[in-house]
């Protein structure tokens, strides 16, 4: 028998199980990080919106310029990455655009797109060690290289299979200095580069530069691959569109190899 008490319990207003402090949705009203979305639209850039969503506030002008440069630097690397090849193969198979993009993003892993996260973690831990032990940046760099060498690991963010000197890294570090976004993580990355270049002629790549810059902008290393994905997504979309509009369907991987 359903009693009055049971009925009250059944129809009692329940709290939502899902909560967020990011965006509040109400009838005819949307607020993101306490800002009305209609006030954000047309007044802030996409990079500022990315910063606002992730960090909770609107960046300074220079921090915004720096993040925008980081996102642009990730845009594309031709047909060489596995993620681009995966997206194009799916497009060639006739998959819808969203599935092709998802396939490209799912191709990110420890050997592709994972390096920036590793580099950020390495630099952030290195700065903590430096501050905790009172070491100089050069001493910390030497310690880090020796530790990774003993573990049989490479220093993430340095060396590139196509570029002996990554032009993107050079420009990014120049902008970081110009925008005042070059701090302890960039300093440590530069010392690592000096050490690796003197030993083996290895220079910093885009992942190393962006790892240092994003760390100095205050991003946790766990955001590394996600920020890379934001920057790379337009490039993946361009490749999917090109594959769908310019190539014969059902291509084989050997045919894609010829484009590399």
Question: CATH number for the domain including 179?
Answer: 1.10.230.10
Same domain, 199 and 130: yes
When pLDDT is cut at 50, 70 and 90, the band that residue 5 belongs to is low
User: What is residue 9's predicted lDDT score, i.e. its pLDDT?
Assistant: 63
Residue 31 pLDDT greater than 70, yes or no: yes
Same domain, 53 and 64: no
Which residue blocks in the chain are alpha helix, DSSP H?
4-10, 37-40, 46-55, 61-73, 82-92, 97-106, 115-133, 137-150, 167-178, 184-200, 206-216, 224-246, 253-257
Q: Other CB atoms closer than 10 Å to residue 122's CB: what's the count? A: 25
User: What is residue 209's predicted lDDT score, i.e. its pLDDT?
Assistant: 98
Inter-CA distances, 123 with 16, 113, 184, 213, Å: 40, 17, 9, 10
**Angle, in degrees to the nearest 10, between helices 61-73 and 224-246:** 50
Same domain, 180 and 93: yes
User: What is residue 41's predicted lDDT score, i.e. its pLDDT?
Assistant: 98
User: What is residue 2's predicted lDDT score, i.e. its pLDDT?
Assistant: 59
In which residue are the tokens 């129809």 written?
Answer: 11
Question: Rounded distance, CA 138 to CA 130, Å?
Answer: 10
Same domain, 163 and 153: yes
Residue 63 pLDDT greater than 60, yes or no: yes
Same domain, 23 and 64: no
End residue of a domain, out of 30, 58, 86: 58
User: Which region, left, alpha or beta, applies to residue 60 given φ > 0 means left and ψ of -120 to 50 means alpha?
Assistant: beta
End residue of a domain, out of 58, 85, 102: 58
Same domain, 91 and 23: no
Inter-CA distances, 32 with 36, 118, 190, Å: 6, 30, 37
Same domain, 10 and 105: no
Same domain, 49 and 64: no
User: What is residue 87's predicted lDDT score, i.e. its pLDDT?
Assistant: 97
- The total of structural domains in the chain comes to 2
End residue of a domain, out of 17, 42, 58: 58
Q: What is the pLDDT of residues 170-229, one digit of tens each?
A: 999 999 999 999 999 999 999 999 999 998 899 999 999 999 999 999 999 999 999 999
Same domain, 53 and 99: no
When pLDDT is cut at 50, 70 and 90, the band that residue 164 belongs to is confident
pTM above 0.75, yes or no: yes
User: What is residue 58's predicted lDDT score, i.e. its pLDDT?
Assistant: 97
User: What is residue 12's predicted lDDT score, i.e. its pLDDT?
Assistant: 64
Same domain, 210 and 172: yes
Which of the residue ranges 23-32, 70-79, 81-90, 148-157 would you say has the lowest mean pLDDT? 148-157
Same domain, 53 and 124: no
Residue 248 pLDDT greater than 70, yes or no: yes
Question: Rounded distance, CA 219 to CA 117, Å?
Answer: 11
User: What is residue 252's predicted lDDT score, i.e. its pLDDT?
Assistant: 79
When pLDDT is cut at 50, 70 and 90, the band that residue 257 belongs to is low
- Percentage of the chain exceeding pLDDT 90: 83
Residue 15 dihedral angles phi and psi, to the nearest 5°: -75, 145
- The pLDDT mean for the chain works out to 92
Same domain, 54 and 68: no
For 227, the domain range is: 59-260
User: What is residue 3's predicted lDDT score, i.e. its pLDDT?
Assistant: 62
Q: Which of 131, 130, 168, 83 is nearest to 157 (CA)?
A: 168
Inter-CA distances, 255 with 83, 92, 124, 250, Å: 16, 11, 42, 10
Residue 7 pLDDT greater than 70, yes or no: no
Cβ burial 225-234 (10 Å sphere, 16+ → b, else e): bebbbbbbbe
Residue 93 pLDDT greater than 80, yes or no: yes
Residue 114 pLDDT greater than 60, yes or no: yes
C-alpha angle with apex 154: 175 to 121, nearest 5 degrees? 55
């Amino acid at each position: 028998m359903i009693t009055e008490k049971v009925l009250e319990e059944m129809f009692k207003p329940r709290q939502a199980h899902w909560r967020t402090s990011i965006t509040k949705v109400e009838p005819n009203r949307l607020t993101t990080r306490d800002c009305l979305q209609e006030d954000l639209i047309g007044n802030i850039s996409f990079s500022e919106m990315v910063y606002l969503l992730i960090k909770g506030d609107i960046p300074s002008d220079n921090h915004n310029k720096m993040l925008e440069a980081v996102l642009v630097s990730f845009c594309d690397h031709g047909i060489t990455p596995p993620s681009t090849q995966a997206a194009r193969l799916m497009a060639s198979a006739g998959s819808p655009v969203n599935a092709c993009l998802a396939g490209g993003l799912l191709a990110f892993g420890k050997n592709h797109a994972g390096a920036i996260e590793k580099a950020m973690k390495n630099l952030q831990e290195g700065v903590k060690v430096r501050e905790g032990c009172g070491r100089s940046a050069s001493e910390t760099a030497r310690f880090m290289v020796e530790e990774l060498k003993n573990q049989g690991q490479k220093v993430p963010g340095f060396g590139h299979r196509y570029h002996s000197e990554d032009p993107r890294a050079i420009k990014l570090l120049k902008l970081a200095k110009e925008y005042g976004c070059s701090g302890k993580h960039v300093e440590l990355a530069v010392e690592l580069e000096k050490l690796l270049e003197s030993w083996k002629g290895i220079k910093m790549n885009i992942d190393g530069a962006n790892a240092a810059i994003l760390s100095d902008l205050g991003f946790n290393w766990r955001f590394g691959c996600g920020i890379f994905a934001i920057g790379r997504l337009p490039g993946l979309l361009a490749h999917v569109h090109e594959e769908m509009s310019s190539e014969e369907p059902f291509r084989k991987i050997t045919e894609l190899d010829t484009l590399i």
